[in-house]
Amino acid sequence: MKLEDRVRKKIVRAINDFGMIDDWDKIILWVSGWKDSMLLAYMLSEIRKRSKKKFEIIWVYIYKRFLITCEVDFAERMSFFEKIGIPLETVEINLPEESKLNQWVGLSCQWCSYARRIALMKLADKRKANKICLWHHLDDEVITLYMNILEWRRFKIMDPINRMDKMDVAFIRPLSYVREKDIRELCKVLEIPFSPCLCPIWEQWRRKEIKTLLEDIEKREPEFMEKMYFSVIKELYKDILEK
């Protein structure tokens, strides 16, 4: 089976296992320009063509105008989306002077991400969308689990689907079953242009240390990430996955 078919199958499996997409959903997909979001934008477009379900996708690039500059040169990415017929929108955000986030954004990737998610939720409310699609993959999930254990002493993983209590919207992660190495390789195979993370905070962040640690373990224990992820996910979401 070709790599593209394997990855598509894993995405569809995750979508079906957790009921991420239903008929008549209106989904906002945040495209960052990095490999994970670029591939997901392409794959979800292809999956929609094959799906019996009728749902709408709004592809958006969020450009932030605060503190650290880590934006990508999006001209090449825009031409790629035009070539495959995806209408990518650009949304600019800035933090109000009174926002409490101003004192935190720039200290870790977490706070920039949080600011973007606030923007996504506001956009979802404006466009009457009920799903927001994020591009965290299996490696991200396991790294987050270890960060929560080591930093916060919490046994918690990023939810494949996370329904917000205060708004009629849910965050979904269709790449939850896909490995980062497969995403990187498939981008090369499909000639999907992408940018590396340009944020200087990444080099100093604890997340990079934990990622390196887990990669070292996997060199000695093949498929360690998959074994860890699926053992955790099957336990935490037993009621959903056993239906």
Phi, psi of 164 (to 5 degrees): -85, 135
Dist CA 100 CA 112 (whole Å): 12
Q: What is the CATH number of domain 3-241?
A: 3.40.50.620
pLDDT digits (tens, 9 = 90+) for 150-167: 888 999 899 999 988 777
Dist CA 209 CA 6 (whole Å): 29
Query: How confident is the prediction for the chain on average, in pLDDT?
Result: 85
Dist CA 105 CA 115 (whole Å): 8
Q: Distances from the Cα of 101 to the Cαs of 32, 94, 105, 183, 200, in angstroms?
A: 20, 11, 6, 32, 19
Helix (H, G, I), strand (E, B) or coil at 236: helix
pLDDT for position 8: 97
**Residue corresponding to tokens 């973007």:** 116
pLDDT digits (tens, 9 = 90+) for 98-131: 555 555 555 556 666 777 777 788 889 889 999 9
pTM to 2 decimal places = 0.89
What value does the mean pLDDT take over residues 62-74?
58
47-51, 64-68, 116-120, 168-172, range with the lowest pLDDT: 64-68
pLDDT digits (tens, 9 = 90+) for 72-89: 566 777 788 888 888 888
Cross-strand pairs, 2: none
Nearest to 37 by CA among 205, 200, 178, 214: 178
Domain ranges in the chain?
3-241
Contact 234, 17 (CB under 8 A): no
pLDDT for position 117: 78
Q: Which strands sit side by side in the sheet containing 88-93, from one edge to the other?
A: 88-93, 56-64, 26-30, 131-133, 170-172, 161-163
> For the chain, what percentages of helix, strand and coil (3-state, to nearest 5) are there?
50, 10, 35
Contact 61, 89 (CB under 8 A): yes
- Whether the predicted pLDDT of 218 surpasses 90: yes
pLDDT for position 1: 74
